[in-house]
Structure 1
C-alpha cells in the first residue's frame, strides 16, 4: 500500500501505481511515475496482463522549454531533444492525470534537471486532489523526488527531509548519486540554479561521464561562442546577490583581441595546496602551503565553448587555439588537469591568463 507522507501526498512502488491505474481510486487523482521509461507501456512490459487506457495530453522536450522563453534550460545538462516529461490522462474513464519522467536508478543518472518540473507537478496536484509519487520499488527514485519536495516546500535540510520521510516509509533510501545531487539542490537554495558554479561543475561531470562512456559528444551542450557579435550583444548584465548590476568580464585573445570567454563561462574551483600538491616540487622542511604566498591561479577553467573545434572533434586532450588567429590559448583534457594552485579539475578546459587580456562587454 502507498504510504502517506503529507496531506494529499503518497509515496509507493509500481505495484501500488498499477493497482490504482487498473482499479481506480477514491483518493488518488494524479500520479508521478519515475521509472526507466516514460511510456505507459512500461506497465504492460512489467505485467503482460495489465491493460491501462491512456490518452496523451502532451510530451515536453528540453527544446520546448527553451521555446517557452526559459533561457536557463539552454544551460541544462540535458540535450535539446531529450524528453523531460510525458503528461497523459490514464486509468478508468481517463480521469486520472499522470506525469512520467524517464529516470534510471544508477550512479550516473541526472536527477537535478528533472526535479523542478516534478516538484511543480506535485505542488499543483496537491491543490487539485491527491498525488502518488512512485518508482519501481518505492525506495530510491521516488524517495529522492519526495525528499526534494519536502526540502523545497518546508525549507528542510537534506538530512531533516530524509528523516521525516523515513518516519512515513522506513524503506526509502535514495542512491548515493541522488543524495549528492540533493545536497547540491540544498546548497543552491532549494532550486536548480543553472548559473551557479555548483551546477556548472555538475554539468561538466555529466559531459565528462558521457565522453568516458564513449558516447558521441553533444556539442549542442557546449556554451555559446562569446566571440560572435550577436551572442555578446544578446547578453544582459546579471544581478549579483547584493542586487547590483555587474558588467560582464570578458577574456580576449592577447594577439587579436577576439573574445574567447566571459565571466559566466568560468567554472570556479576551490584553491588547492599550492606547490605542496606537486610532489616533484614539494617544499623542504614539511612547511604547509601558505595562501599569502600564492600569487593566484595562472589559468581560468571554463565550460567547453563552441569555438573549441578540437574538443568537438572528439580527442581526449589537445591545444585550445583562438578561432580567429590560431594563437595558442590553453589546453583541454577530459581526464582532468591540475591548476598551479594545486587543485585538480576534471574535465579541464584551461585558458592561460598570460595569453589573454581582460576587458568588459
Structure 2
C-alpha cells in the first residue's frame, strides 16, 4: 500500500516508499510533495518536485499544530497549479502513511469545509481510501483545536490566543510531570491578552465578599460540565478561573505583582513556586480559594487541570442580566448565584438597578 488518492481531491497519502515508485508518481501527476518526517532523503530523488518539509516525530506531544497552516497553503498552491500533491511520512512497513501524513491531510479537508466536517468525519473520508489512517491521540486533539480556531491559513504563533493557551497547558503538563510548578514566564495570564479581554460577555463579575474587589469577569471563567445533577451535595463549590495577574503573589510567592510584561527575576527557579496552595484576595489578603497545577476535582465530580478556583462561600457573583433568563452556560455558576450576595451590613440598602440580592 504505497499511496492512495483521497476521494474527490488530487491529493495522495502514503509512506516514504511512495517516493521510489517514479512510474506511479508520474501517472498521478504528482508535482508537489509534503514530507512529514525528520529523515533526510536523497536530493536527486526529489529534484523534479516542489517540496514542503515538516520535521516532526510521530509522538503525541509533538507540536504539529503550528505547521498546519503552512502545509495547507502549500497543498492548495500545488492544486491551483494544476498538479497533484503527495503527503507522506515514514514509519514501519505496516503503518506508513498512518499518523503524521493523515493529520496534515485532515487539516486540509477541514480547511475546505470547516462548517461541514469535523476531525473525525474527515478521518473517515481518508479511511475510505486508506483504512490504516489513524493519527495519534495528541494529533487528533490538535486537529480539534485547529478546527476550533477556524482552520487558519496564516501563521498562528503571534496572535492566536487559543494556540497560546494550548502552549501554556502543555508547559503546565510537562512541569507537573517533573514534580514542579511551571515557569511564571510560560503561564498565560489572560487579562494581559487583548484577545481574551475582547472575547465573550463580561456581564458577570466575581467580587471578594470581604473587600468587594473585582476578581474576574465572565470571559476569565473556565466552564465545565457537571458530572452529576446539581443538588445540595453536588453543586460546584468553586468557580474555576484562568490565570490572572493579581494571582501572581499566590501562584509565585516572591515574584513581582506587576503585569507580566514587566521584567521579573522569578521563573528561573521554578522549584521555588508551590504546586498547590491558597489563593488570596489582592485587595484584603483574605483567603478566597485554592490552586493546584496538577488539577483538582470539583465538588460536582469534574476534574479541572490546572485548577485555580475561588470558593463560592468567599465571593459574590454579580450580574447585569435579567435574572429570569437563568444561567444557560456551564461555568459552574448556578442560577441562584446570578446576583449580589450582600454582606450583612449592606442588606438594608436597595439593590442596584438590574441586580438582585441573595
Query: What are the residue-to-residue correspondences of 1:1-361 with 2, within 5 Å?
Result: 1-5=2-6, 6-17=8-19, 27-35=29-37, 37=38, 42-43=39-40, 50-51=42-43, 91-92=46-47, 96-98=50-52, 100-128=53-81, 129-136=83-90, 137-154=96-113, 155-182=116-143, 188=148, 191=151, 206-214=170-178, 217-224=182-189, 226=191, 231=192, 237-238=198-199, 246-247=201-202, 249-273=204-228, 291=230, 293=232, 296-306=235-245, 307-312=247-252, 313=270, 314-323=273-282, 325-358=284-317
* Contact 2:188–2:243 (8 Å) recurs in 1: yes
Residue by residue over 1:42-100, the C-alpha shift from the partner in whole angstroms, topping out at 9 and shown as x without a partner, is 405xxxxx3479xxxxxxxxxxxxxxxxxxxxxxxxxxxxxxxxxxxxx538x7242x3
User: Could you say which structure has the higher strand fraction?
Assistant: 1
Matched residues in 2 for 1:254 and 1:43: separation? 62
* Contact 1:250–1:259 (8 Å) recurs in 2: yes
TM superposition shift of 1:271: 0.8
Residue by residue over 1:6-41, the C-alpha shift from the partner in whole angstroms, topping out at 9 and shown as x without a partner, is 433121223435888xx9999333333322x4xxxx
Residue by residue over 1:254-281, the C-alpha shift from the partner in whole angstroms, topping out at 9 and shown as x without a partner, is 45555433322222111133xxxxxxxx
* Contact 2:187–2:243 (8 Å) recurs in 1: yes
Matched residues in 1 for 2:138 and 2:193: separation? 36
> Structure 2: any 5+ residue segments left out of the alignment?
91-95, 253-269, 321-358
Q: 1:260 aligns to what SS in structure 2?
A: strand
Matched residues in 1 for 2:169 and 2:30: separation? 38
C-alpha distance 120-293 of structure 1, shift in aligned 2 (>3 A): farther
TM superposition shift of 1:127: 1.8
Residue by residue over 1:291-317, the C-alpha shift from the partner in whole angstroms, topping out at 9 and shown as x without a partner, is 365784231112333443443444221
Q: 2:106 aligns to what SS in structure 1?
A: helix
Matched residues in 2 for 1:203 and 1:51: separation? 35
> Structure 1: any 5+ residue segments left out of the alignment?
45-49, 54-90, 241-245, 274-289
* Contact 1:247–1:360 (8 Å) recurs in 2: no
Q: 2:309 aligns to what SS in structure 1?
A: strand
TM superposition shift of 1:234: 8.6
* Contact 2:276–2:293 (8 Å) recurs in 1: yes
C-alpha distance 216-170 of structure 1, shift in aligned 2 (>3 A): same
* Contact 2:181–2:275 (8 Å) recurs in 1: no
TM superposition shift of 1:174: 1.8
Cα RMSD, aligned residues only = 4.2
C-alpha distance 181-338 of structure 1, shift in aligned 2 (>3 A): same
Matched residues in 2 for 1:183 and 1:337: separation? 24
Matched residues in 1 for 2:190 and 2:149: separation? 29
Matched residues in 2 for 1:353 and 1:232: separation? 26
* Contact 1:237–1:248 (8 Å) recurs in 2: no
